[in-house]
Structure 1
């Protein structure tokens, strides 16, 4: 199966190792230049999903029986294939997703690393455990086994990396996968998954593009033993309701409304720099981007000045242009949602600052471009504070003390990530210990190199169910099987 001409042909499904034809298709457009069609993709049906499950179910048993050494070797080959196709992946992802090319380069490199990281820890995680019994002839054997067929549903905001973060542990655990990309960014994901499919036995990785009909068919199929979904809470609730009929296990990595607590002793210039990087990366379309800031009153004016100064330096333009600091939002719906939220925030009388500059005024109307916005006098109960914006808007709330900041930070249905900013490590750790979230960063809102490898990513409350990444992430794709051997009574005769 060729993977080198995806930009020049209909991107079909991959089912059982073969490129499947499409009865219907949809176009994927460039959010920087909406007149440009980046690719044409097969629009899958429920029947396509069932055929993909057929192929996965047929492949699952043999794949589960492969040795750890073989799986490790294939994971490393997939990583090498991603590296070899990096430029094509970068081009596709930048043009369909809208994140600036520097961000996409890092994403593609991290995707290859995801397969290598799982390969590094796999043998340690999968080694069975043996326990001697209290009586001769008794023993306990505890091992981890795959589910069989797993459905993985990925979003559009960081599609390549989020796909790798599901595929790598799922196949390493011995499962066969049916992958359903987002219609808003399916091209690079389809290429990545096709690269993996080429390295693996037919049917271990299958790809079906499409919409909610495909998802419903996957969740309804009794041969699918687990669903892993990254995306919005509303969609997750639909999946969970449907999964409840068969008690199908689910893994959800959902949205966040991540707070940043800026304490009075914070290094304000560094804090402003790093919060801007987090809040406006991918035009704010990151589940763990900083989405609200709580700053202590004594330093609020200076912090606001530094924040506005830094955001105003940002240049917004075509994602492929190296001069752009921020690209467009991904799609028409997201553009409308963010624009309307800004309008309602202004109508509420808030001090909304539209900052930054346009790289190319003439091209501005041809893409889903928004300048970054800062709300300097936000209140805790404002919509822009309580809801996940998922766009280039950052509200700032002034608080009297750190107790109020922690109370406001926790006053939310979300609990994905958070950050604390202080010159004192001990002070920051004390505040971090009181925050209700899966991850709390100190003096950053991004993962360190070690954190990216070792931290299980997931959320409290309505930010998710289960964990992804790190050696703990493979747990979502494994189940226990134990054998408890009892001795027979000594009959005095040989058997």
Structure 2
């Protein structure tokens, strides 16, 4: 790993101020961002904002919102194409930076950037239709009803650290396309790439249409409680979402939440077990398991449980854990100390139950292991449905396998959760898979994979049932969260005799 060390150590730390009204404003305080692969390395810093910064950003957004809402859909599409082109032009540098601040291996981040640019291009397919008024004739004298869709004005977008670029684009693109101005708050654990993506957009759009305020709880509270913010879009954990909802209630501000998941994979008895094992491992350990929609628990027929566990172990042994910039690594570290402590504790408690917790994979540089937030992946080969590892969203590289006796039992266990984000069904029979999918309580189900096809990524409304969210993201339906109806009923006076 000498090449990785020398390459990363020569990169100058990035320092970014707040982006308000088209200008970068420094702050007295900074939030340092360190590399989760090597905690001693400073990747960069962002300005640590205050409530006053939030006020200034919202004021800039309010000042820009009216003129931006008046622009034509076609003009917005043209500007978005330029934003996407610029993201593509900077993608290699952004991928390196975000791998260093986030901990996801660079190839994963590079693919994420493809989706980031696509989020801005994809609006061209639906924007004109979404913003075109619909008229309904209502009387013989030319009366009619017109239904418009209008932006809210100022939207606050709060984004997480685990897949920061695509999750930012999935909010920014539809919110801006709808005609809103945005104040964006990145996660302090991965703010650099998000801030730079927002800068790209801001450099092409009118001043004040995109604003960024980095910071912690003070910034979040000021943004959520601001009376000029008309909609809040948040991706993250349920506890934070509940806090936001309570605070938003004071101003009756609308909320859109994309929250966690505890995604079940139901393996039917006619599945291709080898292909299923390959694809489940690919989903479950992507980004070290720190993905809201990833396989978090597996249900497999009891008669096939031992064989399937063997195949999963065989496949997972190929995982190589190391520095996010190491070309040999297929899994990087966890993002932060709190997440590492949480997952380690969950793993220790599962082991203490007497479960067969099987560590898999290879550490690329054991001597540097304690320099980062590393954790070897593991499989729980004999988990029970009521185990904590099955009931809780682990958000880390540990995957439980639960044996079932009947299909009905598997579906009941899959649905026995407060979450309902994504799920998967594995079978050679499409009809059987569709029947099972129709009985799963989740916003999305994938058959014979737990990753979307390109068409699925583009067309599926991303969101969940129960405590996995409120509203939908991405796809042609994502823009609906950032539009409100305005309807006009045009009537005529009765004609009167002029005499």
- TM-score of the two chains, using structure 1 as the length reference: 0.98
Q: Does residue 401 of structure 1 match 2:434? A: no
- Aligned residue in 1 for 2:47: 42
* Distance in 1 separating the partners of 2:12 and 2:269: 52
Shift of 1:492: 2.7
Q: Does residue 485 of structure 1 match 2:490? A: yes
Contact (CA 8 Å) 2:13, 2:43: kept in 1 or not? no
Q: 1:193 aligns with which of 167, 176, 198?
A: 198
* Distance in 2 separating the partners of 1:487 and 1:383: 66
* Distance in 1 separating the partners of 2:214 and 2:340: 23
Q: 2:303 aligns with which of 280, 298, 304?
A: 298
Q: Does residue 430 of structure 1 match 2:435? A: yes
Q: Does residue 136 of structure 1 match 2:129? A: no
Q: Segments of 4+ in structure 1 off by > 6 A?
A: none
Q: 2:38 aligns with which of 11, 33, 42?
A: 33
Q: Secondary structure at the match of 2:462?
A: coil
- Aligned residue in 1 for 2:59: 54
Q: Secondary structure at the match of 1:374?
A: strand
Cα distance change of structure 1 residues 9 and 360 upon mapping to structure 2, 3 Å threshold? closer
Provide Cα deviations, 1:177-204, integer angstroms capped at 9, x if missing partner. 0000000000000000000000000000
Shift of 1:493: 3.4
Q: Secondary structure at the match of 1:376?
A: strand
Q: Does residue 386 of structure 1 match 2:386? A: no
Contact (CA 8 Å) 1:374, 1:395: kept in 2 or not? yes
- Aligned residue in 1 for 2:110: 105
Q: Can you give the 5+ residue segments of structure 1 that lack an aligned partner in the other structure?
A: 1-5
- Aligned residue in 2 for 1:161: 166
* Distance in 1 separating the partners of 2:497 and 2:198: 60
Shift of 1:391: 0.2
Contact (CA 8 Å) 2:14, 2:43: kept in 1 or not? no
* Distance in 2 separating the partners of 1:178 and 1:76: 21
Contact (CA 8 Å) 2:13, 2:42: kept in 1 or not? no
Shift of 1:208: 0.4
Q: Which has the larger displacement, 294-303 or 151-160?
A: 294-303
Q: Secondary structure at the match of 1:456?
A: coil
- Aligned residue in 2 for 1:326: 331
Q: How does 1:450-461 map to 2 (within 5 A)?
A: 450-461=455-466
- Aligned residue in 1 for 2:6: none
Q: Secondary structure at the match of 1:99?
A: coil
Q: Secondary structure at the match of 2:211?
A: strand
Shift of 1:145: 0.2
- Aligned residue in 2 for 1:75: 80
Give me the CA root mean square deviation. Answer: 1.1
Contact (CA 8 Å) 1:420, 1:442: kept in 2 or not? yes
Q: Secondary structure at the match of 1:198?
A: helix
* Distance in 2 separating the partners of 1:218 and 1:460: 26
Q: Secondary structure at the match of 1:224?
A: coil
- Aligned residue in 1 for 2:377: 372
Cα distance change of structure 1 residues 492 and 88 upon mapping to structure 2, 3 Å threshold? farther
* Distance in 1 separating the partners of 2:388 and 2:453: 31
Contact (CA 8 Å) 1:53, 1:149: kept in 2 or not? yes
Q: Does residue 11 of structure 1 match 2:28? A: no
Provide Cα deviations, 1:51-109, integer angstroms capped at 9, x if missing partner. 10010000000100111111111111110110111112111110001011110010011
Q: Does residue 147 of structure 1 match 2:157? A: no
Q: 1:467 aligns with which of 472, 475, 479?
A: 472
* Distance in 1 separating the partners of 2:40 and 2:85: 34
* Distance in 2 separating the partners of 1:119 and 1:12: 32
* Distance in 1 separating the partners of 2:130 and 2:220: 30
Shift of 1:362: 1.4
* Distance in 2 separating the partners of 1:341 and 1:8: 34
Q: Does residue 274 of structure 1 match 2:288? A: no
Shift of 1:334: 0.3
Shift of 1:23: 1.1
* Distance in 2 separating the partners of 1:248 and 1:460: 21
Shift of 1:9: 4.7
Q: Secondary structure at the match of 1:171?
A: helix
Q: Secondary structure at the match of 2:140?
A: coil
* Distance in 1 separating the partners of 2:391 and 2:12: 40
Q: Does residue 212 of structure 1 match 2:217? A: yes
- Aligned residue in 2 for 1:91: 96
Q: Secondary structure at the match of 2:383?
A: coil
* Distance in 1 separating the partners of 2:314 and 2:127: 47
